[in-house]
Amino acid sequence: MKKTLKYIFHIDHFLIAILTFVLIGIGYAAVMSFPIFDPLKEAMSDMSMTDYFFRLADKNSDVNQDITIVDIKDEANRGKIAKVIATVDSLEPWAVGVDITFMGIKGTPEENEALIETAMTAGDNVVWATQLVDYDFANKTFAEKRSSFFAEELGVKEGFSNLDDVNYNHNTIRKMFTLVEGDSGTLASLPVAIAQTVDNTNVKSNKKFTIDYKTKFVVLPVDSISNNEDLIKDHIVLVGSTTDEGDMWKTPLGKMPGVVLQAYSVFTVRNHNDIHYASYIVNILIAFVLCYLFELFIDLQNRWLARHDKAPWAIFLSRSYLLLRIVTIVFMALVTWGILLLFIHHSSYVDAILILLVLGLTSEARNIYIGAIWALSKNHNWCILKNSLFNTDKK
């Protein structure tokens, strides 16, 4: 037992794990330092394994039973939109989110009057979209907002519909806004305002939730509302366009209309499904432990092959590194599967990219370490060399 523990906790395994992280550090420094790697840096800046996990979860996700999207298409004029909103509101939904900002007076006077009348007669459960302007992310405040032409005069309930990230560079949308402070007080995002209309959903100002994409939504064309009243009554309904190219966003599930993104955000807020990310230290510790275990597993595999070094099959597996590659792929697949289960069932995420990178470099670090032991042991008799598991020329 003592001999087994001495082998398991041998310093060689520990140093190989350390060397693996050193190699990652050197590679990272090279990528960050040389312009030739700029395309790689740009790709890495908008990369997350959560996207892959959401796509896997999406294949088996159920249709949401509480949220319905009503698609007004691009061609709907203001009069038609007003009629749709009034019709939806009359069917007693829990809340209606209008993901359209009616800037200024446009179209015919009748169309604008129809919108005003709808806004006046709509219940308190209707939330209208507004846009934050000149948002200061450093101070977490905004200078002004741009609302529908009737919003200020009628005092309608509003929520800001901004979706873009802090740099406005149209990266993949993974997070949503909650509430922000402005010159006129606190303003909720459209999804938060909708959720709070249904129940007293408590969220903190200036917090950003990771959007939970593990569901699907029913999308109703405007001409099918009368045939699907059961999908409106006692539901949260979002009204918007799914075909507006100016409101398409890059998401983990691919290109997506803004109104659908708002639906996912409402789902996230109502279910408090914010993804819990492991801290930097926790990620490092998990990656180190898995690296150590993987190095130990590789060493046991090599020792098993060495005991059969006369057999042709053992020579083939050893010299071709076929078994090592198979073991590496299986180990990484099992680790990825475990991280996926943690993500789907517990909404928790550890850095899969770091962990897989560590596992992928472990065998390289092992080869470098063994080469160094062999080279140094030819001319030195240091204690660490004498006691190494890999010193075949011990003095």
pLDDT tens track for 324-382: 888 889 999 999 999 988 888 888 889 998 999 999 999 999 999 988 888 888 877 88
* Residue 47, helix vs strand vs coil: coil
Q: How many whole angstroms separate alpha carbon 25 and alpha carbon 46?
A: 20
* Residue 242, helix vs strand vs coil: coil
* Residue 387 pLDDT: 82
The answer to whether residues 234 and 93 touch, using CB atoms and an 8 Å cutoff, is: yes
Residue 339 DSSP label: H
Give me the numbers of helices (H) and strands (E) for the chain, helices first please: 14, 15
* Residue 376 pLDDT: 85
Angle (CA) 54-60-64 rounded to 5° is 85
pLDDT at 91 over 70: yes
Q: Is the dihedral of CA 254, 257, 262, 267 positive or negative?
A: negative
Amino acid residing at 391: N
Query: What would the pLDDT profile of 19-41 be if each residue is shown by its tens digit?
Result: 999 999 998 888 888 777 677 66
Predicted structure pTM score: 0.79
pLDDT, mean of residues 139-161 = 84
pLDDT, mean of residues 54-66 = 84
Query: What would the pLDDT profile of 214-228 be if each residue is shown by its tens digit?
Result: 899 999 998 899 889
Residue 235 DSSP label: S
Q: Which of 183, 202, 182, 184 is nearest to 192 (CA)?
A: 202
pLDDT, mean of residues 56-74 = 86
Q: Which of 172, 218, 148, 152 is nearest to 47 (CA)?
A: 172
Residue 189 DSSP label: B
pLDDT at 313 over 60: yes
Amino acid residing at 80: K
* Residue 71 pLDDT: 93
Q: 């597996």: which residue's tokens?
A: 317
Where in the chain are the domains? 2-45+277-386, 61-274
Q: How many whole angstroms separate alpha carbon 210 and alpha carbon 173?
A: 9
* Residue 95, helix vs strand vs coil: strand
Residue 311 DSSP label: S
pLDDT, mean of residues 231-243 = 94
Residue 170's pLDDT band (cuts 50, 70, 90): low
Q: How many whole angstroms separate alpha carbon 336 and alpha carbon 290?
A: 12
